[in-house]
Amino acid sequence: MGTGGTPWRGPVLGLALLTGALTVGATGCGGSGGSGAQSGTTGAPEATRTAPGTRSSPPATEPEDLCARLVAHWSRKVLDEDTYGDYQSMGLSDGQYEILMDVVDAARAEQRREGARAAGELIDRTARERCEERYRNGNPTGGPWS
């Protein structure tokens, strides 16, 4: 029995399919067949294209808003004794932690006098006021921990 010509067809066919797949993979997704950096007709980079009416990223949160949210959230946790109080694990700076401790002290006193609801309102109000004061001239300049 002879070997015939069939043993080489499998590897050649496999190589042809692999080459075709690589060619389609390199040019099929890029639109214009180049490097993939430009889209087909608009010339805009594909990474910045979005559907009409959508944003590419959410707007940035102002530092005083982020501070107020963090301080209020963690103030409630500390007030409920639901945390051990490590400012780094809370994602707070040293200055924000100082605000938190002042807010919690005031909220404890308010809770004893007027109840939990009044303490929650005080937390929101005081955290907002203190954070706005802290960031009124932009970011603090004492380093990333301040």
- Which of the four pLDDT bands, split at 50, 70 and 90, describes residue 43? low
pLDDT range class, residue 38, cuts 50, 70, 90: very low
**pLDDT score of 111:** 96
CA distance 129 to 100: 12
Q: What percent of the chain has pLDDT over 90?
A: 41
Contact 88, 73 (CB under 8 A): no
Least Cα distance to 69 among 2, 26, 124, 145 occurs for: 124
The pTM of the full predicted model, rounded to 2 decimals, is 0.58
pLDDT for position 109: 97
pLDDT at 1: 54
The overall average pLDDT reported for the chain is 75
pLDDT tens readout for residues 109-141 = 999 999 999 999 999 999 999 999 999 887 776
- Range 61-100 burial, b when 16+ CB lie within 10 A, else e: eebbeebbebbbebbbebbeeeeeeebeebebbebbbbbb
* Closest-CA residue to 63 (of 144, 146, 143, 138): 138
Q: What does the pLDDT read at residue 131?
A: 95
Six-digit token pair at 146?
A: 């301040």
**pLDDT of the residue at 108:** 96
d(CA 98, CA 77): 15
Given this model, what pLDDT does residue 50 score? 60
62: closest CA among 119, 129, 131, 109? 131
> What is the pLDDT confidence band of residue 7, given thresholds at 50, 70 and 90?
low
Q: What percent of the chain has pLDDT over 70?
A: 59
pLDDT value, residue 104 = 96
